[in-house]
Every structure is written in structure tokens, then in C-alpha cells.
Amino acid sequence: MNVLGVESSCDETAASVVGPSGVLSDVVHSQGVHAAYGGVVPELAARAHVEKLGVVVQAALDQAGIERPDAVAATAGPGLVGAVLTGLSWAKSLAFAWNVPFVAVNHLEGHLLSALLEDPAPAWPFLALVVSGGHTTLYASRSLGAYEVLGQTVDDAAGEAFDKTARLLGLGYPGGPAIDRLAEAGDPTAVAFPRPDPGRLDWSFSGLKTAVRNHVNSAGRASDPDVCASFQAAVVDCLLDRVRRAVQRTGIQRVAMAGGVAANRELRSRFAELPFDTYVPPRSRCTDNGAMIAHAGRLHLAAGAGHGWDAAAQPGWQVGE
């Protein structure tokens, strides 16, 4: 079954076709309009999705070499409600016109399951670290739909910490890739930033950006590669510490990682060095994409799921809670 997946929850307009042999096409348009504002402007995101959805979806079908898929999946949340609504409505209209099944997909579940699209894929059960702009959550995923939250951030998400820190360093938006690039030339031990630990398997990142601000105010240097590398090392230490503890606690030795921050090169290389079986999609499938939505939709359709034309946008939709 070839499934078209449509993603529009934030500032990426994305579509992809996933079939029995894997990803047949994967088209992502990143909206440039937000850079001037230092962050995503929800109304502009929704308008830009409406402008691009047609061409992005058509490109995904053309690259896959098909005229119409056997089913359509779309992100229904979590995300910016106006942005989610554009792709969701577009996808439902197409499914209705083509007279094929439609399935609403949770964006976080898309990230969580995205390691299963790769070869080798983790067997169930596996731990999944989802690190994005809005979420930082560690799941024990036991089977399709059975996800237990082991830990999550009590304040900022890891991606949010990257973006806010980049802004105070004058590096623009999105900040994660900018810090990733600058950190390459820096010394990760140059500044001893804190490794906050709120207990259990949770994270706290909001104090880290304050520590960076205090350091920059006293040292007077903003976009120093050493500051970027030291900040990045603190985030990576915190993320990997909870992964190690979760493996110890659950005994599950297979660990997957996904979400925009999983595109970070330092995090990827240190994650791969963990003494467990680790699974990380390529960088382009860690940030938002349509393939993870098509894939999650495909798995749910195969398990018998399907939604009506009244499937609603759910901006706060969580998984495993």
C-alpha cells in the first residue's frame, strides 16, 4: 500500500509517499519567512503552507511515480493549530476526492516511530528519545500505540534551549543548526555550564540559557565557538545521562532517537558511542518530514485504523499519556 503523508505542524511544508519497499519520495519545503522575526510566526506559517501544499504534494507524487496513493495520512497535532489545519484539510480533501482511506497521525508518534523506517530497524520494545523544538521526551515503546513516558522536560524543550541560546548569542533563527556549525570549531570544556537534573528521568533546560547569558555578560563575547561547544556539550550530557539511566531501569537495550535536535552532529556521534544498540534516522529525517507521517499512517492503517472526514486538529495532542 502506497501512503501519501502530509506534514504542516510548524514551519516545514512536507509530503512523502511511503510504500512496501520504503520511502518513494520525500519533499520538504522549509519556510524562510520566519527568519526576520527570530521565531515562527503562526499566522505566516499557515499562509505559507497554503501557498506551498499543492506543489509539495504534487512533487511527492511525481517523484514516487504515482498519480494517486492508496491512502492519505496527515499530521493532526501537536503543533500550531492554524498550520496543522492547512495540511490536515488539504490531505482530507485529497483522500475524499480520490476515494481512499484517511488517517490522522500524531506528529510526535511520527518522530517516535521514524527509526523503524531505516535499515536496520529496532525490534520492539525499544526506548525512543524524541528531541524537537517543542518536546523532549523519552518513551518506552512496547508496540504500536503502547508508549510509556519515562521522562520529559519540566520546562524548555532541548530545541527551544538551542533556539533561545542562539538568539541571545545573536545567531538568528533557527538556532540549532547555527550552534551545531559554530561549535565544531570550539572547545566543549572551555566553559563549565551546569548539567541540571530535576530528578526521575526528567530534564530541565531553562537554567542553561541563563547560565549562557550570565557567562556572555561577564566575559563579553557572544557568538564564541567555545561558548557554543560548551553549551552543546551540556545539553548532550543531560540527554545521554537519562538514556543511560532509562536503559538501566528498564533493561531495554535498543534505543532510538529522532526529532530536529537529533540532527545535531555532536549528539549523533556521542549517541552512537553508547554501549547499546542505537538507531538514528539520517539527519533529513530527524527534522520534520512527510515520510515519518506516511510511515506512521501506514502502520496504523495496517493495524485497522482510519479516520472520518471530521478528524479534527488537536494542537495539544500527546502520546503515551
Shortest Å distance, C-beta 46 to ligand KG4: 16
Q: For 155, list phi and psi in degrees, rounded to 5.
A: -145, -105
Partner whose footprint covers residue 289, from ligand KG4, Zn ion, none (CB < 5 to 8 Å by kind): none
Nearer to ligand KG4, 34 or 300 (CB): 34
Nearer to ligand KG4, 156 or 202 (CB): 156
Give the residue among 146, 246, 247 at the shortest CA–CA distance from 203: 246
Partner whose footprint covers residue 159, from ligand KG4, Zn ion, none (CB < 5 to 8 Å by kind): ligand KG4
The DSSP letter of residue 303 is: T
Shortest Å distance, C-beta 45 to ligand KG4: 12
11 part of the interface to Zn ion, by CB under 5 A: no
Shortest Å distance, C-beta 261 to ligand KG4: 4
Nearer to Zn ion, 2 or 106 (CB): 106
DSSP lists the bridge partners of residue 136 as 131
In order, the DSSP letters of 263-302 are G-HHHHHHHHTSSSEEE---GGGTSS-SHHHHHHHHHHHH
288 part of the interface to Zn ion, by CB under 5 A: yes
Shortest Å distance, C-beta 260 to Zn ion: 6
Binding site residues, ligand KG4, CB under 6 A:
10, 132-134, 159, 162-163, 174-177, 180, 259-261, 263-264, 287-288
Distance CA 86, CA 64 (A): 23
Nearer to ligand KG4, 40 or 252 (CB): 40
Shortest Å distance, C-beta 178 to ligand KG4: 8
Nearer to ligand KG4, 107 or 307 (CB): 107
Nearer to ligand KG4, 39 or 306 (CB): 39
Give the residue among 256, 246, 304 at the shortest CA–CA distance from 277: 256
Give the residue among 36, 40, 108 at the shortest CA–CA distance from 80: 40
Binding residues with Zn ion: total (CB under 5 A): 2
Partner whose footprint covers residue 180, from ligand KG4, Zn ion, none (CB < 5 to 8 Å by kind): ligand KG4
Nearer to ligand KG4, 10 or 91 (CB): 10
Cell numbers for 204, please give them.
530541565
Partner whose footprint covers residue 263, from ligand KG4, Zn ion, none (CB < 5 to 8 Å by kind): ligand KG4
Partner whose footprint covers residue 152, from ligand KG4, Zn ion, none (CB < 5 to 8 Å by kind): none
Shortest Å distance, C-beta 291 to Zn ion: 12
Partner whose footprint covers residue 76, from Zn ion, ligand KG4, none (CB < 5 to 8 Å by kind): none
CB neighbourhood size of 19 (10 A): 17
Shortest Å distance, C-beta 269 to ligand KG4: 12
The DSSP letter of residue 260 is: G
The DSSP letter of residue 313 is: P
132 part of the interface to Zn ion, by CB under 5 A: yes
Longest Cα separation, the chain: 63
Query: What are the Cα distances from residue 168, in Å, to 198, 203, 209?
Result: 24, 21, 8
Nearer to ligand KG4, 2 or 288 (CB): 288
β strands within the chain, DSSP E: 3-7, 12-19, 22-30, 71-77, 102-106, 126-131, 136-143, 146-152, 254-258, 277-279
165 part of the interface to Zn ion, by CB under 5 A: no
Query: What are the Cα distances from residue 86, in Å, to 42, 51, 59, 117?
Result: 12, 10, 18, 26
Name the site residues for Zn ion (rule: CB under 5 A): 132, 288
